[in-house]
Amino acid sequence: MASSESDLREIIRSFKFERILNHDVKLKLIFILGEINSEPAIAIAEKTAFDADSASSLLDQDVSDIRLLDHNDIYRWLMVTLNQNINSAPAAKISLIWPATPTHIAKYSTPRRRMITETPEMYRRIHSPYIEKMRGSRIQWVYNILEHKVESERIVYENPDPTEGFILLPDLKWDRTTMDSLYLVAIVHRHDIFSLRNLTKAHIPWLESVQEEIISNTIKAYPEVDHSQLRLYVHYLPSYYHFHIHVTHVQYDAGDGTSVGKAVMFNDLISRLQEMSDDSSGYIDSTLSFLLSENSELWTEGFSAAAASI
């Protein structure tokens, strides 16, 4: 596993372009499929956010080239080249997945999506067997984080209790500099909760405690952020089946990550559990709707047939 800057530079330079998987103009993201040493690789390039603290020098010092696009009355539109600095003003952030699996390639390809209304019966018959396939070695990287084998230097806060605890660390989408784009993830230590489907009324005190702990320690680590500027949510469907909570600044545009059919606000998750009857089995007995990509194995090997039969 390459770790030095020279090794990483050589790996990046050996990347051989194959095709663009996806391109998000709004979020300034591009997903590129290629090869490194004859193995599939995915490079995700993202334009970095502006640093508000350095805005004073943005125009008078950082512009090295300029071209007028158009003007109308008091309005002018310009293209500029900004001076870059790897520490304070990097041009882009690159995420590299190598070797990439067919699942990764499908995940990052431009998706055609379906709206799924999943009944409890559909969850047990279609979704639950899929979850079993997607756990174990598929999420070994999550266990590596929880066991401090990797990324321990990035941990913002940890409650080490094996049942009540979690690790809070920056998501790789965040540049760890711009507070308006703050993005953390809390990964719980317990292994018995795969998604919100496994939550019951008995989990309410734990969920409330985790929520309070996340907010208080995020504010402690980043005092520039107020508690009312934090947004806590989970995904259904999650991108991996080990319970985790997303923590973002309300100014951050997470795109599909916070859209209807994907994000469930943490307060709403708890409130719905509180409203369930005392004899309820929790979310496993709920009907839930979510967006599902046609590239997903869950669609091709399960929900496509269920949709066709309706």
Catalytic residues: 244
Extract the tokens encoding 65.
Answer: 């080239």
Task: Decide: 83 and 61 in contact? Cβ < 8 Å.
Answer: yes
Element (H, E) at 274: helix 266-275
What residues have CB less than 8 Å from 132, skipping those under 6 apart? none
Do residues 177 and 87 make contact, with C-beta atoms less than 8 angstroms apart?
no
DSSP letter at 117 equals: E
Asked whether the bond before 237 is cis by omega within 30 degrees of 0, the reply is yes
C-alpha count within 13 angstroms, C-beta hemisphere, residue 140: 2
- Looking at residue 138, its amino acid is R
Cis peptide before 162 (omega within 30 of 0): no
Instruction: Count other Cβ atoms within 10 Å, centred on residue 124.
Output: 12
The number of beta carbons lying within 10 Å of the beta carbon of residue 283 is 22
| Distant-in-sequence, close-in-space partners of 22: CB < 8 Å, separation ≥ 6 | 29, 30, 31, 108, 109, 110, 111
Neighbouring C-beta atoms of residue 31, cutoff 10 Å: 22
What distance in Å separates the CA atoms of residue 134 and residue 155, rounded to the nearest whole number?
A: 25
CA distances (Å), origin 261, targets 49, 67, 290: 27, 42, 4
